[in-house]
A and B are shown apart, each in its own frame.
Chain A
Amino acid sequence: AQSVAQPEDQVNVAEGNPLTVKCTYSVSGNPYLFWYVQYPNRGLQFLLKYITGDNLVKGSYGFEAEFNKSQTSFHLKKPSALVSDSALYFCASMEYGNKLVFGAGTILRVKS
């Protein structure tokens, strides 16, 4: 069975600094990986996905993610954090049948 791990419950970063939210995966076959963001009392919003091709994936709101097959990681990054980036971030992998398997989530807090 596929699984996704987000090793940090919370990440704190100062506004303007680069941010990284970590994700590791365990899948059989080719990994199909996603990042979603959830703002308070809202549904999940799609940020980006890796299916195949370039290891660096660019997504919405200036976010990008780096796929690393040897380390089985798919970390979310942004060069300069904004206070408005504070939210709950989910990494997910897709199983056959379009089913998403989610990590537990990481709270990102950006302080001014």
Chain B
Amino acid sequence: DAGITQSPRYKITETGRQVTLMCHQTWSHSYMFWYRQDLGHGLRLIYYSAAADITDKGEVPDGYVVSRSKTENFPLTLESATRSQTSVYFCASSEKGRDGLAGGRFSTDTQYFGPGTRLTVL
């Protein structure tokens, strides 16, 4: 059971280049997420997806693009990388829970995280 994987694990690129970070999960989880981790900020949500072809912005979406054509994949693209996007990026997934909260529209299922991608933009 591979779980959730990210590639590449390390990436160095230059300002202005396009970079795509991959995320793949084998659990068929409905929800997938992208976070970035920076010192002093903890993890901040970039984008998330409730299902294939459904995506929405998080706290810090500027400069990023996502897509989700298949349930298991959720790539994150930096269209024109900037130095401020140097960070560690984590992908996560969770099931669409059935806790029955808020009329079944709200899930408190645990998010499971990938190992991360360390991106450096020079």
Contacts and interface: CB of A to CB of B under 8 A. Distances in A.
Contacts, number: 62
A47 B6 CA distance: 21
Interface string B96-122: 000100100111111111111000000
Q: How large is the interface on B (under 10, 10 to 19, 20 to 34, 35 or more residues)?
A: 20 to 34
A34 B116 contact: no
A43 B114 contact: yes
A111 to B, nearest CB: 23
Contacts of A61: none
Nearest to A48: B110
A112 to B, nearest CB: 27
15 contacts: A36-B113, A42-B115, A42-B116, A44-B43, A44-B90, A44-B113, A46-B110, A49-B110, A51-B99, A96-B106, A97-B106, A98-B48, A98-B94, A100-B33, A102-B35
Interface of A: 32, 34, 36, 41-46, 49, 51, 90, 92, 94, 96-105
